[in-house]
Amino acid sequence: SLYREGFVRRFASATRIYWRTVAWGRAETQVAAGVLAAGHAPNLEELYLDGNRFDDEAVCSLAEALRRGTPKLRVLTLDGSEIGDAGGVALAASFAQLPAIALLRCSLHLLSPSAVEALCEAAERNPALEVRDEWPGRNAVDHELDKLHLPGFGEGECFSN
């Protein structure tokens, strides 16, 4: 009641949330996803989730929540998350419905080739979107795409905008 009202009011005004290295698993991620999906953070522009080691299922829940409840999101960081095929596709699909999204930072070496490909396609559809590796100064073209040898994605064709 009073606590809930204060929580909702505080989240409604949040533009940046740091939930870094809080050791979240699926259950905690699904609770946070429920809060975001319900629209309790409509002004959220930056969401930092580094160091949580989300799995594919958690990333899928998060992607759906972002699509439904964070229309102003510009920055998402997921360093340390092992994003598989389903998570990559879900993130890419959510980005199509997030008009302000400009940066996804993640651990590219932990992503599946299909996840990288889905994110490449999302970046091609949205020239403002940049997908960067967790290490400063490296992006997918610099590091992962050459190693993965994905057909149709040559040097400079993806992520570098």
DSSP of 62-117, one letter per residue?
Answer: HHHHHHHH-TT--EEEETT----HHHHHHHHHHHTT-TT--EEEE-GGGS-HHHHH
Helix (H, G, I), strand (E, B) or coil at 134: coil
Host H or E run for residue 48: strand 46-48
pLDDT (mean) for 133-144: 51
Confidence of residue 1 (pLDDT cuts 50, 70, 90): confident
| CA–CA gap between residue 136 and residue 148 (Å, rounded) | 20
Distance between CA atoms of residues 151 and 42, nearest Å: 38
Q: Does 138 have pLDDT greater than 70? A: no
Q: Which of 37-46, 63-72, 125-134, 139-148 is the least confident region?
A: 139-148
Facing residues of 78 across strands? Answer: 106
Percent of the chain with pLDDT over 70: 83
Query: Per-residue pLDDT for 153 more than 80?
Result: no
Instruction: State the pLDDT at residue 106.
Output: 85
Ranges 117-126, 127-136, 137-146, most confident: 117-126
Q: What is the pTM of this model?
A: 0.80
pLDDT greater than 60 at residue 154: no
pLDDT at 134: 67
Token pair, residue 1, equals 């009641």
pLDDT tens by residue, 4-62? 788 888 889 999 999 998 888 888 999 999 999 999 999 999 999 988 878 889 999 99
The pLDDT of 79-102, averaged and rounded, is 89
User: Is residue 71 within 8 Å of 98, Cβ to Cβ?
Assistant: yes
First-to-final CA distance of the chain:
46
